[in-house]
Amino acid sequence: MRHVVMEIEEGSLTLTIADCEKRDTRVEVCKRIAIKDLSRVVLSSAIKTVISEIREDFAGVHVVLGERRFQHFVAEVPRLGPEEVRAFVLREAHRMGSLPTDVELLGHCWHLGKLPARRQRLATICLAQNAWQPIERAIQENGLQVLSLTSMEDAITAAIPPHIPQHTAVLEISANKARFILCDGSAVMQARRFMLPASHDDDDDTMLAAQLAMEVPRTLDYLEEIGCRPPEGLLISHRVPGDEDSLPLIGETQSCMVRYEPEFSIAEEQAMPGLATAGVLTRLATSRGPIRSLLGGLTVSLPRSPWPIAAALLAIAVGASGGAFGLIESKILSDSTATLETTRVEVQQLETAIAQRENAASSDQPLSLEQSRLLGVLNTRRPVSLLLSSLSDAASENVAFEKVGFDTSDRVTLTGRVSAGNRLDALMAFTRFIKNVREIPFLESDGREDIRDATGSTRELLFKINLFWRVP
């Protein structure tokens, strides 16, 4: 069966056509072109160009979208029903994305496993619908039907080989960006991105390896700071340059480190698809899990309770063996089942209320003297002067600020540039600056720093950092 996968992200569009027969997959076409942004006009023109160059007839595509507004999170909650889980996911997604409550979401939430004390683990992917609509219109303008939509990070998890530890990390490169994805099985725990040099000659490969050798340990330190368990393995994409001797420099703390090897064949003169496209093809061709499409709004997949099925089977057995007596017993059993199900829901609601009260009680613990002072300051006003002074102390002579922005959601946006004798020294200066910023007691970072090369300069970097006021 022929499948078409369209991989879209800022800076790149890739169209892959593959024939999947049972477990044998062959990539017939893989065409990649550069795009400047994800606007409808630019994307529609790029899709038209790719279709005209490929000269293949197809009606539908599986879309893999690399969009920074995607949210991936794993939560531990009481055993709730589908509607209660859906309401929880909506609240969390709007809160984590700082989205207005009237923004419609596309997403999927699924069950990862049960926990003691009647709790469960849930994984979620979601995206604001207004971020997808221009892309969808651009695809439809070219006469194509969208068969499925998933995030690039979720698609990459399907490319992880089965022999890799379940709690692992993946390092992928695409469109001058590196992605470091922390996974727990098929769920994305954390995803971070950092910018890379725009070109890739031999000298840039050496510089790229040096940057990755610095960024990966820094990312692992950040994950440890926010309470994530360190990964037990590291899967390195085939797009990451360097030989086997240079891999330990990237993941020197990982005991299980593997470079990705494609599970499919590729036609001559065709490019190798990335891990995201490889993951989608793996899910389409094998039984390594279904594609989690986000086209149906916000969907929730939970395991069904065995009680209704068992009650129905028992009612049928009683009815068949007892005639009229069986019908009476079936009616009694059905009423009892309904009562039992109602009781179970009420118990879950009570457990949720108790857990919320316990959390509220734990938050009422006495504060330390430093926390009390900090809370008093932040409840009356934001110490902007102290913030500027602390940022100035955190910066070295290599760091220059261009703008410090504030908004109503307690977000502080810091932009500037780092200059040094060469690019590696500039990266080291930026790393020291970020470390000092994270030690400021009344600020916290979301870990999504953007850093890129300044235009026309190899010794200067531009950065943008998102910070938040911290309230104890």
Local confidence pLDDT in tens for the 472 residues of the chain: 889 999 999 889 999 999 987 668 899 999 999 998 899 999 999 999 999 988 788 889 999 999 989 999 999 988 888 899 999 999 999 988 888 888 999 999 999 988 888 889 999 999 999 999 999 999 999 999 999 999 999 999 999 998 888 899 999 998 888 999 999 988 999 998 888 876 544 456 777 777 887 888 888 888 888 888 889 988 999 888 766 665 655 655 566 788 898 888 899 889 899 999 999 998 888 766 678 899 988 999 888 655 455 545 555 555 555 544 444 454 555 555 556 656 665 666 676 667 666 655 555 556 666 666 666 555 555 677 788 888 888 888 889 989 888 876 678 888 999 998 888 888 888 888 888 888 888 788 776 778 888 877 778 889 888 888 775 5
Residue that is last in its domain, among 231, 259, 287: 259
State phi, psi for 282 to the nearest 5 degrees: -65, -45
**How open is the CA angle 402-404-409, to the nearest 5 degrees?**
150
Do 73 and 159 meet the contact criterion of CB atoms below 8 Å apart?
no
Q: Among 3, 2, 5, which residue's Cα sits nearest to residue 50? A: 5
Which residues share a beta bridge with 181?
Answer: 170, 191
State the greatest distance between any 2 C-alpha atoms of the chain, in Å, as a whole number: 92
Do 260 and 236 meet the contact criterion of CB atoms below 8 Å apart?
yes
Asked if residue 364 is part of any domain, the answer here is: no
Residue that is last in its domain, among 259, 289, 317: 259
Strands 105-115 and 298-301: parallel
Distance CA 85, CA 94 (A): 14
Q: Which two tokens stand for residue 415?
A: 């932009």
Structural domain for 296, as ranges: 1-107+124-151+262-327
Q: Which two tokens stand for residue 12?
A: 């790149």
Asked if residue 337 is part of any domain, the answer here is: no
* Residue 138 pLDDT: 94
Whether 270 and 397 share a structural domain: no
Whether 6 and 103 share a structural domain: yes
Whether 239 and 320 share a structural domain: no
Compute CA 121 distance to the chain's CA centroid, rounded to the nearest angstrom.
16
Q: Residue 460's domain is classified under what CATH number?
A: 3.30.70
Task: Collect all residues with Cβ–Cβ distance below 8 Å to 336 and sequence separation of at least 6.
Answer: none
Whether 131 and 280 share a structural domain: yes
* Residue 324 pLDDT: 44
Do 205 and 241 meet the contact criterion of CB atoms below 8 Å apart?
yes
DSSP result, 308-363: HHHHHHHHHHHHHHHTHHHHHHHHHHHHHHHHHHHHHHHHHHHHHHHHHHHHHHHH
Whether 377 and 311 share a structural domain: no
Cα→Cα distances 417→212, 385, 443, 461, Å: 20, 21, 20, 5
Do 128 and 99 meet the contact criterion of CB atoms below 8 Å apart?
yes
Global pTM reads 0.67
Residue that is last in its domain, among 206, 237, 259: 259
Asked if residue 333 is part of any domain, the answer here is: no
* Residue 317 pLDDT: 56
Do 109 and 292 meet the contact criterion of CB atoms below 8 Å apart?
no
* Residue 390 pLDDT: 85
Q: Residue 217's domain is classified under what CATH number?
A: 3.30.420.40
Asked if residue 347 is part of any domain, the answer here is: no
What DSSP character marks residue 98? T
Q: Is 43 exposed, middle or buried (0-12, 13-18, 19+ CB in 10 A)?
A: buried
Whether 136 and 255 share a structural domain: no
Whether 443 and 463 share a structural domain: yes
Compute CA 203 distance to the chain's CA centroid, rounded to the nearest angstrom.
32
* Residue 27 pLDDT: 92
Do 167 and 183 meet the contact criterion of CB atoms below 8 Å apart?
yes
Q: How many domains does the chain have?
A: 3
Q: Residue 66's domain is classified under what CATH number?
A: 3.30.420.380
Whether 291 and 322 share a structural domain: yes
DSSP result, 423-463: HHHHHHHHHHHHHHHHT-TTEEE-S--EEEEPTT-SSEEEE
Whether 97 and 244 share a structural domain: no
DSSP result, 244-278: GGGHHHHSTT-SEEEE---SSEE-TT-PPP-HHHH
State the CB neighbour count (10 A cutoff) for residue 472. Answer: 13
Whether 95 and 189 share a structural domain: no
Coil, strand or helix: which one is 408?
A: coil
Asked if residue 377 is part of any domain, the answer here is: yes
Asked if residue 311 is part of any domain, the answer here is: yes
Q: Which amino acid is at 90?
A: L
Coil, strand or helix: which one is 37?
A: coil
What DSSP character marks residue 165? -
Asked if residue 170 is part of any domain, the answer here is: yes
Asked if residue 250 is part of any domain, the answer here is: yes
Whether 169 and 220 share a structural domain: yes
Task: Collect all residues with Cβ–Cβ distance below 8 Å to 85 and sequence separation of at least 6.
Answer: 77, 109, 122, 300, 302
Whether 45 and 147 share a structural domain: yes
Distance CA 111, CA 101 (A): 25
